[in-house]
Amino acid sequence: MKDIVNMAEIKALLEKSRTIAVVGLSPKKSRPSNLVARYLINAGYRVIPVNPGHNEILGHKCFPNLLAITEPVDIVNIFRRPEEVLPIVDDAIAVGAKAVWMQFGVINHTAAAKARKAGVSVVMDRCLKIDHNDLF
């Protein structure tokens, strides 16, 4: 696939997606990952928390990794350090995610290239909440 960089492509991705796995979701309300996940839930998306340190976040069952999720995932939203992204992208490919979305400051060109080669769309160094809010 390719990098999704313009707002029309981002809008199309968000319109066709319903399930978003948030990797690195924190239970702390003040953390950006929690704010974004709450926003997405309120916008009608199915949010799946991924954090090995918790059983539940925001009232939803929390999974230790993407491979443990038992339902299809449209977007993998990544809140992890850039050097931790490659194995997450490997798992996103393995579970058949349609896109990986690396939040602000999360830039890993090697992982992005691997995702693209596997047919997974890539959004990098952007905020899903901000883009969704601007579009809808």
Q: Within 10 A of 135 (CB to CB), how many other CB atoms are there? A: 13
75, 100 Cβ separation under 8 angstroms? yes
Note the pLDDT of residue 39: 98
- List the chain pLDDT tens, one digit each, 136 residues: 556 667 899 999 999 999 999 999 999 999 999 999 999 999 999 999 999 999 999 999 999 999 999 999 999 999 999 999 999 999 999 999 999 999 999 999 999 999 999 999 999 999 999 999 999 9
Give the number of other CB atoms < 10 A from CB of residue 42.
9
Q: Which sign, positive or negative, has the C-alpha torsion 95, 100, 68, 35?
A: negative
> For the chain, how are helix, strand and coil distributed in percent, rounded to 5?
40, 20, 40
What is d(CA 107, CA 47) in angstroms, rounded to the nearest whole number?
23
| CATH architecture for segment(s) 7-135 | 3-Layer(aba) Sandwich (3.40)
